[in-house]
Structure 1
């Protein structure tokens, strides 16, 4: 069909008069994800992205030094990013556990109270100082 088409030069410049369309291996999955994003539920979930995922990256850039790097090489920077996000996840987990303990009515200083105490004083907790001395 294309061989005798008068507008063939607009579609392709190949010698065998065929137009080749190349798609990525995962393009079907990407199309499904893109279609879902425009549904009502997809829009609602996408709005929460800035509150959950992008907030973590913003915090890492602002408070944990991921805006700029003093490391040389991709492997070192990857290690720094992995350690930073691991620490952020541990803090998030500790706060969730603390919230659960408070709901159950357990007594004693909470993790959040201790965290705020050390952040306000800007001092390193004793157990971390002892680890860094090793």
Structure 2
């Protein structure tokens, strides 16, 4: 991203990617650069049969979480290696809770983990309800994803033939060039030869994105 911005002298307001790109490291780097990170975030709440983290409310003033039953989960431990803070409810309170079976199997009290970068993640989550984010996702589905699918299915992008970043970049450039040539030739067949290529080049969004 930074290489493309430098070479093309670009100052993007936002960057769009799929969940694979929505790592904490990428989000922090992009947001710190003043660019909005339009990335979907993994929905871990759907991966557990218990109450997900989203059902717990964080209280920044008390630095604690509150469970769906209104009980407090105070801060217990800081894990610097994992870059997260552990919050845990009182075991006695949890074990006598009427909805414990829906919350946890542990007899030591329900735990909730909070990333050091939770504020960044909350900010990105807030983008998801905006029209700008929804529009960017729609564009990605129409302009970007079909091109990658075509490259993987028909042009060998699914597996690199050579090793090394340089060789991988070369293969990506060749594939993108091939896709662009297909579109140029197709446009030439559909329209009058005198103006077809010129019209297409005036609309560069029709061409496959070249890998930086």
Q: Kindly indicate whether structure 1 or structure 2 has the higher relative contact order, using CA contacts under 8 Å at least 6 residues apart.
A: 2
TM-score by structure 2 length? 0.31
Which is richer in strand?
A: 2
Which is richer in helix?
A: 1
TM-score by structure 1 length? 0.46
Higher-Rg member (1/2): 1
